[in-house]
Structure formats: structure tokens, C-alpha cells
Structure 1
Amino acid sequence: MHLANRRFARFRLFWAVTLVTLVCSSLPLVSSPLLAFPNLQQAPAVPANGVISADARVNLRGGPGANYLILAKLDPGAAVTVLSVNATEEWVRVRVNETGRTGWVAAELVQLEATPAQTVLLPTPTPDPHLNRASNTTGQLPVAAAAPAVINVEAPLSEAAVEMASGAASAPVAVTQPANMNVRGGPGTNYAVVTTVPAGTTLAIRAVGPGGDWYKVEIEGRPEAWIAASLTRTSGPLDDLPRLAVDEVPAPPATDPAPAAAVAAAAPALADAPPPAGGGFFAYGIQAQLWQNGEKGAIAGQVRDIGFTWVKAQVRWEFAEDQPGHVNWGEMDQIIDAMHGNGINVLFSIVTAPQWTRPDKPGTGGPPNDFNVFAAFVGNVAARYCGRLGAIEVWNEQNLQREWEGFPLDPALYMDLLRRSYTAIKNNCPSILVISGAPTPSGNSPVAVDDVDYLRGMYAHGLARYSDGVGVHPSGFAHPPEVTVQDWQAGRYTPPPSHFDHRSFYFRSTMEEYRNVMVANGDVNKRLWPTEFGWGSSSTPFPGYEYQAYITESTQAQYIVRAYLLMREWGWVGVPFLWNLNYSEGEMAMFRVAGRPAYEALKSLPK
């Protein structure tokens, strides 16, 4: 369904040169960050506690610079832990204490209680926005996804770690990327976790596992310590490392025979992925028709004109990869270039499988026979656009038969697809947000499963673990956004029996039901992402959209603005994407806002 200054209380970090003496004397002298606090006798080691000291909300970004993607908005006074500082000493990498999310904030906007001492600063790599994970054979993450390391020299350093810090590594080392990374007793997720290490931990690599995707690392007291290669940044030569054979690694633990899969093949072992970000932020978004549209720059101008910071673009996989391995990156490159270059965050909603992935099934509306093929595609998208793509929505309206052709409308099946996709995306670019596919509002019928029931099923099969935001598609039909199905006014906006007697016809009722499901499943710190919502207007509506005759273009503008304000007030909505900006054909054009009063009304929204 297509609904588809007051001046800042600022401080500055003052830096003094501190001579550092190490056991390994090859390390050069480095700068040590010191804050001129009158009562601070000595600067403590990383991490350091701090708070956001601005009087307005502050951007948490994906890298050390104002050109990086905005990950979240932090409130004044928000408590953070400073993890590192970039080489120019202008940006600090922080962890938000309330949500656990990490990102970069301008150093002058953080008031430290204690500061990093005796640190070795590693330069932040310059990201390559066109890096393709498929051609990366080193086991390294794209540099845009990697956090610059800060090594605390008060703790003992291995020779390899010192060499890496000095930029003259001759022994290979790995720097861990996830906030808390599992170290296992063997090369695979089927081995027991022997310990965990925080992000930025530097470990000497001693060997490579049989499959090339796990490193044996040196940890004191752990004779067998293994980490997933894809979740590290490496330095030093890897070619000379021993590649262990199967009989040279610990035998995998015995497991009970698994029952035969009823529909899909069992998943291969998946590398540990970072946990969902949780928490979140509110921002304004809108969907635009961008694929094969030569006016991408002009569209970016329109989005900026209305003051929005997010845009949704649908990527039909069937068009993007019409033959195995033949990916049309051109359109996606142009979309990212046009939007990111104008400071606009992008959500890719990736849908529709190519026929070659499901040759025994009709159409392209459903998923591929092998869910790993889709996961590989979205993983490559994440790798290519890491640092420039804000989020990926995994599929669309999977509770509707035409969007899930050839497969049962089973939330367990969709969650298998999401689990594999989430892991592939996060392993290639941890900073990209993964939004679950949005069910369409419906009741139960031969061609659909009730959207609220379907969402419950998604949670029963792991949704909380495999999403940063929950995609939804609330629709208001002809009803104002504040009215619920229980309201005495329900039904007065369209004459019975059309679109009035079920919860799914009411924007607020649907949104509140979705939130109730999240709360019931303990997922209270996550946000709903309405990746499609809106009201259409037409004096001559298309069949099935007769209710649009009761909405004037002026009313359309009022309802949209009021819905945005309602979602902002709730505090549990992430980025709502209005359907739509500029679609010009068929029933989709009845929802557009370009050239209508709604376009001007959107400019008035508080930003």
C-alpha cells in the first residue's frame, strides 16, 4: 500500500604536551589531552565522564566532522562517556550513557569531569564512500565504519600494539569495532564465549582460521582466543600469518541434531553483529521518487526548502541486480551523491527479488529462495555507502501476499530474512541503522495478516534483537490524525460503510497499538519509524481510494502537519516519512505534496 542562541555554555579542550615513557621505547612522544580544571590534580585515563554542555540539542555524528551523517540528537545535559579524540583534537568519540549509542561530538560541546591522559592518538582514516565490500579480501571493515583507536598507555602494551600506534606496525594487530565484542574459544559462533572486550581493543593476531574469517589473537590466560575478522580493523601484514587447517583448531562443541527446516534452509554461522542502537531521535522525513529521475539535485533542493533532513528512496533489487553479480550502482550512487552532498540523510527501502533468485515462483513481489542472497546484496550496499547512507529498511509490507509472493505470510520467515540482513549490514557498516520492514495496516483476510498480530509475531521471533527501529505504515484514510476508532466522531468523515469501522483506518489508533506491542515486549527504548504515512486528496479518486473525495488539498495539508506534531510530541517516534513528495502517476500522485498547499505548510513545522 502506497502510504507508502542563546550562546552555548561552551568550553574548550586545552592540550599540553606530555612526555610519555613506555617499556617499548620505539613509541614517539605524543600529545596528551588535559582540561584546565582548577581542582583536577591529574588527568585520568580514558574513558572519561562528561555531559553535553550546550543550551540546544547537539548532533551525534558518524565521524569526526560536520560532513558526517547525523546519527542522533543529544539533549543538553545528556551524560556521555568520552572514548577517544581525533587527531585534530576538535572532535571526541562518545558513548551516550542512556542508550549505549556511540558517535562523534564537537569537543567544545562536551564538559568533561575527567579527561584522557597519556594517550596515543591514531589518525582517523579518510573514508572511501565507494568502497565495495565484495572486493575487500583483507578482512578489514571499510574505514568509514571503523572508530579511530585511542590506546591508554598506563596499561601494558604489547609490542604489536605499540607499533600500530606509532604507525610502523610490522606485526599484524586487530582493533575491535563493536561496543562489546565476543572472544570465543574457536573460529565460529558455535564456540563458547571466553571473554568480551570493548571497542578499540588492540589485539595481536597470531593466526588465521581455516575459513579466513576468524583471527586467533593473543589474550593473557586464554590459549584459545578467536574474534570475527569482519568486526575488526587491522594493521600490519596478514599474508605471513599461519593459516590453520581444520585439524589445527579446537574441535567444535557437540550439538544436538537440528530438526529439518520446514520452509527455508538452516542459516550458516553468522559473525557476531553489534546490538541494536535503541533509543533514538526524532527528525522529519519524506519519500521521493528518485530512481531513474534526472532531477535528483532539484529534489534535494525541495527537501532542503521544506527544512527536512531525511529522504526515503525505494530501491527495487530486481532493477539493481538484474543478473547475478551485475549490480547497477549508478542510480544508487547518484541518489547518495545528490542527497548526502546537500546534508540530507538517506533511507534505502530495499524490496522485490530478481526473477533469477526465485525461478520457480511467479513475479518478483516476494523474497528470494535463498535469504542469504538478499543478505549479501544489502551487505554490499552497506559497505559501499558506509558513512553516507543513514538507514536501510529491510523489505516492505511483508504481511501482504503481493509483497511476499510464493511464501506463507509467516512472521518467523520474515524474521529469518531480517536476522541475516541485519547481521550482513552491521558486519559491513555498524553505523547504518537497520529498520524492520513495515507491515501494512489490515485485518485478517486470505491475502493479508492483521498488522498488529504480525508485529507480535515478529517480536516473538527476535525483532528486538535485530532492528534499530521498527518500521510501520500507519494510514489515516479520511480521518484526522488525532481521532481514534473509539472516538464518538469516528465515521463522520466518510459515509458508512467505507473505511471507518476498524482500527487500521485510524492513524492514531494504529500507532498506539504498535507502541503497545513494543512495550509489551520490553522494547521501550526503541522507536517506531513510520516509513510511509500520509493523506491523499482527489475529486476523482481511483477505485479503492474513494475516501479521498472527502479530503480537500487544504485539509490534506492540515492533517499532515498535525500528524507530524503529534508524532514529535509522543517521544517514541523516530523518523516519519511522508508519502510522498513528487510521484506523478496513478493513485500515487494523489498523495503528493509538491505543488499543493501541503508543501508550503511543511515549511512552517518547528525544526
Structure 2
Amino acid sequence: MNIPINSTTWKRHRRLLLTAPLALAAAAAEFWAVRAPRSLHLPPQQRVVTINPKIGIHTRLTGIGDEGYIRRTLEQVREMGARWIVDLFPWAYVQPRSRFGFDWTGADLVVRHAARQGLQVIARLDIVPQWARPRDSNDRYLDEAHYADFAAYAAAFLRRYRADGVRHIIIWNEPNLAFEWGRRTPDPAGYAALLKAVYPRVKSAVPDAVVIAGALSPGGDLGDNAEVRMGDLRYITELYAAGAAPWFDAWAVHNYGAQQPHDAPPAPEEVNFRRVELIHDLLTYLGDGRKPIFITEGGWNDHPRWSAAVRPSQRVRWTIGAYRMALEWTWLEAMCLWQFSTPWQARTYQDNWNFVAADGTPKAIYWAVRDYAVPIDLRQ
């Protein structure tokens, strides 16, 4: 049956027919824009000149998006004589909408500029996108149902950046803290299961990848039944009891000196710089002493009014002493202290972890490390 269409209706239908493709094209352009490769302004290839190849630093660059700032920061890192950087590459940034498709824009900026500066990137992978966690959870909540999705992200990350020299990935951050484990009681068996899900997927994609576990909050139990933090030494023991040993290649340590010198002797009840020796001894006792250790956070704070800080002169001496000590620890691959800089001022003690101020001005600690690591006769 033919239904007559008056002129007004026809005009409305014609307008829809004409505008629908334009609307679809605009939506598609918006959808793909974040996925399109960004043209980068990369400098000529550089190389790191240093007398200590274990010197590293923790940067805070992913998510900034300012290519000029990222380039200047990484130039300063290289000029300081650091060969390694650690940076966070959040899963939530790369797959914000679903498990299908990737937005590599921010990661490309950091990785490719780091590669041009001759730096070795250690990529910390965590932060869960909203689609992969319960509605009322925090962004550290990763349940076992999404371990395979996270493993797919880790494998895709290394596939993309292996040509840029990236081999090292840290799986999660401080899983012995309730907050970092999604506001849940720390669970070594759960973390062991995560490593088991990630390791074969990553190795299949990039056989020479280095999967790094650990990066625990240093110290003993906190809270009733370790509900706030499970002590690092206890956590390691239970992780091995859960069968995690085959599923990682190296161990990461957060190694803060508190208010003690770099060479203060270690003890289970102490949090100081040489606590890493206790961790190495424990790994050896558990039959895994051959695996290298990476210090991926650590150092001292020199804020003038924070009760846990040290004097600036102490920070300088102890930091140089720590980098020198790295050469003595044959089982240590790299020492990446916290932290190089941030593009903002917190106006709290947090600013006094930095080696470089928010405006790019190097602090005394920066010049001291540079003077140690890059003697004048080696400078270009």
C-alpha cells in the first residue's frame, strides 16, 4: 500500500538523509582522532655519557601531553648522567573505553623521546579503566575476571615499543598495600595469579621481555591482620608459597632511606636504604637469588619543615653514596630514585623529593649527581 507523503514530510526526510552521513562522519572522526598517530618532533639521536650505568630516576611524564616539557625533561635526565627512567603507563589511558582499540598518544610521547635521548625505559603498568572494574571501586581494583584483559594490554604495550628499546615492565605497584590492591586486604596469592596470567602472554609477544614483580611498600605489617599493609618480607614469603616464582624475571624494590644514611645497617624492623639487602637475602633463601633487582623508587626528602626530612647536605651526600653503592651490588640492575620533577608545585613536602623544580630549574641534588656521574672531561 502506498502512503502519500506531503511536501513538508518529504523535506524533513530529505534533510535527514543528507545530514545523517555528515553526523556519522563527524562521530567517526571524533572516535578515531584519539587513536590516530601524533606527529612527534623528535631530536637527533643522543647517547647517555656516565661513569655509572646503574644510575636511574623516576619520572612523572605520562599524561602531561606537553611535548616540549617532556623533551626538555628527558634531555636533563640524560645530561645528569642517568641511563634509566621509570614511568607509569596507565592501562586506563590506553584503553579508556573498552578492550577493543588502543590510544597510544601519551605513551608514544614519553617512550619515543626517551629513546631519542638514549634512555632505557622501565614501564610501570597499572591503573584500571572504568569498564574493567566494579562501579564503586577505585582504579587499583583488578579482579581475576579481567586479568586476561590486563595481560593483553601488557603484551600490546611491549609489542608496540620493543622497537624503541623497551623490554622492562613492572606489574602493578605496591600490591602489599590495601589501597593499591583496590581497597582490599593484600593478597599474595591473588598477585601470584596475576603474574601467572601476564607472564606467558607477554613472553609470547616479546620473548626477551623482562617482567618485573614486587615494588612493595617497605616495612612491616600495618593494621589489624595486615589490613592496611602486609609487611614486605612476609608478602614475599607468601608470594613464593603461592607459586609465583616461575612467572617473573626480576624484582622491584622501593628503597627509601628515611632519616638514616645510605650505609646504615639493615634490620627487619628498620626502613632504611640497605633494606634492599634483606630482600635480596630473602630471595636467595627462597632459591631465586639469581634474579636481578631494580630499585624503582627511593631516596631522601629535604623539606625544611617536614618531620621525616633530612638536611639538604645530607640528601646530597647520601644520594651520591647510594648511587656509588649500586656499583657494589652485583645483583642490582638499576637504581631509579624518586623523583626527577613534576610540572606543578604541590607547595608541600612532596616538592622536596624532586631533583628539578617545576619551572625546570635544577636543584643542588641535580648538580651534585651530574658532577659525580659526568666528569667535566666526559661532557660534550
TM range (shorter): 0.7 to 0.9
Structure 2 counterpart SS, 1:547: coil
Question: Which residue number in structure 2 is paired with residue 379 of structure 1?
Answer: 155
Amino acid at match of 1:570: W
The aligned amino acid for 2:292 is R
Q: Which residue of 1 aligns with 2:235?
A: 454
Q: Equivalences for 1:273-288 in 2 at 5 Å?
A: 283-288=54-59
Indicate if the aligned counterparts of 2:193 and 2:244 stay in contact, CA closer than 8 A: no
User: 1:547 is matched with which residue?
Assistant: 308
Per-residue CA deviations over 1:105-125 (Å, capped at 9, x if unaligned) read: xxxxxxxxxxxxxxxxxxxxx
**In structure 2, distance between residues paired with 1:477 and 1:361:** 35
**Aligned pairs (5 A) from 1:154-233:** none
CA contact (8 A) 2:81 2:373 kept: no
Q: Confirm whether residue 436 of structure 1 aligns to residue 213 of structure 2.
A: yes
Select which of 89, 113, 121 maps to 1:346.
121
- Aligned-pair distance for 1:402? 0.6
Separation in 1, partners of 2:199, 2:351: 33
Q: 1:590 corresponds to which residue? A: 352
1:511 to 244, 261, 276: 276
- 1:599 counterpart residue number: 366
* Contact 1:484 1:503 (8 Å CA) reproduced: no
Partner of 2:194 in structure 1? 417
- Deviation per residue, 1:127-152 (Å, 9 max, x gap): xxxxxxxxxxxxxxxxxxxxxxxxxx
Query: What are the Cα deviations for residues 370-391 of structure 1, in whole angstroms up to 9, with x where unaligned?
Result: 2111111111111111232131
* Contact kept? 1:434, 1:468, Cα under 8 Å: yes
1:558 aligns with 2:325: no
Q: Secondary structure at the match of 1:427?
A: helix
**1:353 partner SS:** coil
The one-letter amino acid of 1:366's match is Y
| Paired residue type of 1:328 | D
Q: Which residue of 1 aligns with 2:71?
A: 297
CA distance in 2, matches of 1:425, 1:401: 26
Backbone CA RMSD of aligned residues: 2.2
Q: TM-score, normalised by structure 2?
A: 0.76
Which residue of the partner structure matches residue 390 of structure 1? 167
Q: What is the total number of aligned residue pairs between the two structures?
A: 308
Query: What code does the residue aligned with 2:58 have?
Result: Q
Give the aligned residue type for 1:291: T
**Structure 1 residue identity aligned to 2:241:** A
Give 3-state SS (helix, strand or coil) of 1:604's partner.
helix
Residue 483 of structure 1, aligned match among 243, 259, 264: 264
Deviations 1:247-267 (A, max 9, x none): xxxxxxxxxxxxxxxxxxxxx
Distance 1:578 1:437 in 2: 16
| 2:35 equivalent in structure 1 | none
Measure, in 1, the Cα distance between the counterparts of 2:53 and 2:128: 31
1:243-295 superposed Cα distances (whole Å, 9 cap, x missing partner)? xxxxxxxxxxxxxxxxxxxxxxxxxxxxxxxxxxxxxx962211112123311
Distance 1:379 1:485, change over 3 A: closer
Contact 1:351–1:395 under 8 Å retained in 2: yes
Matched, 1:401 2:163: no
**C-alpha displacement of 1:516:** 1.1
**Superposition deviation, residue 405 in structure 1:** 1.3
2:235 and 2:372 map into 1 onto residues whose CA distance is 33
- In structure 1, the residue matched to 2:92 is 318
Are the structure 2 counterparts of residues 485 and 514 from structure 1 closer, same or farther at C-alpha, using a change threshold of 3 Å?
closer
Please show how residues 90-101 of structure 1 align to structure 2 within 5 Å: none
Closer, same or farther: CA 512–485 of 1 in aligned 2, 3 Å: closer
Does structure 1 conserve the Cα–Cα contact (< 8 Å) formed by 2:218 and 2:232? yes
Cα distance in 2 between the residues matched to 1:470 and 1:321: 27
The C-alpha deviation readout for 1:516-561, integer Å capped at 9, x for no partner, is 11110121221111111111111133xxxx211xx12222111111
**Change over 3 Å in CA distance of 1:373–1:406 after alignment to 2:** farther
SS in structure 2 opposite 1:405?
coil
Deviations 1:166-211 (CA, angstroms, capped at 9, x unpaired): xxxxxxxxxxxxxxxxxxxxxxxxxxxxxxxxxxxxxxxxxxxxxx
Question: Residue 281 of structure 2 contacts residue 289 of structure 2 at CA under 8 Å; is this kept in 1?
Answer: no
- Corresponding residue SS for 2:372: coil
SS at match of 1:479: coil
Partner of 1:336: 111
Change (3 A) 1:456 1:291: same
**Superposition TM-score, scaled by structure 1 size:** 0.48
3-state SS of 1:386 partner = helix
Alignment partners' CA distance in 2, 1:373 and 1:600: 43
Moved more, 564-573 or 319-328: 319-328
Deviation readout 1:66-124 (Å, 9 max, x if unpaired): x9x99xxxxxxxxxxxxxxxxxxxxxxxxxxxxxxxxxxxxxxxxxxxxxxxxxxxxxx
Higher relative contact order (CA 8 A, sep 6+): 2
AA aligned to 1:382 is: L
Cα offset, 1:431, TM superposition: 2.2
Paired-residue identity, %: 25
Displacement of 1:320: 2.6
- Give 1:604 deviation, angstroms: 3.3
Contact 2:53-2:82 at 8 Å conserved across structures: no
**Distance across 1 between alignment mates of 2:276 and 2:162:** 31
Aligned partner letter, 1:334: L
Pair 515,598 (structure 1): closer, same or farther in 2 beyond 3 Å: same
Deviation at 1:450, TM superposition (A): 0.4
1:466 — aligned with what?
247
Write the distance in 1 (CA, Å) between the matches of 2:158 and 2:201: 8
- Going by fraction, where is strand more abundant, 1 or 2? 1
Please say if residues 192 and 244 of structure 2, whose CA atoms lie closer than 8 Å, have aligned partners that are also in contact: yes
Structure number with greater Rg is 1
Q: 1:364, 1:405 within 8 Å by CA — same for their partners in 2?
A: yes
| 284-293 vs 411-420, which moves further | 284-293
For 2:41, the equivalent position in structure 1 comes to: none
3-state SS, counterpart of residue 334 of structure 2: coil
Alignment of 1:108-147 (within 5 A): none
Tell me which residue corresponds to 2:9. none
SS in 2 for 1:401: coil
Residues in 1 aligned to 2:297 and 2:176: alpha-carbon distance in whole angstroms: 15
Equivalent residues of 1:282, 1:573 under 8 A apart: no
Question: 1:373 and 1:335, CA in 2 relative to 1: closer, same or farther beyond 3 A?
Answer: same
Query: 1:523 is matched with which residue?
Result: 288
2:298 to 517, 523, 533: 533
Aligned 8 A contact 2:158 2:167 in 1: no
Q: Structure 1 residues 338 and 557, CA, compared in 2 at 3 Å: closer, same or farther? A: same
Which residue of structure 2 aligns with residue 211 of structure 1? none
The amino acid that maps onto 1:592 is N
2:125 is paired with a residue of what secondary structure? strand
Task: Tell me the distance in 2 between the aligned counterparts of 1:370 and 1:408.
Answer: 19
What CA distance in whole angstroms lies between the structure 1 residues aligned with 2:81 and 2:288? 31
Specify the code of the residue in structure 1 equivalent to 2:194: L
Aligned-partner Cα distance in 1 for 2:194–2:136:
18
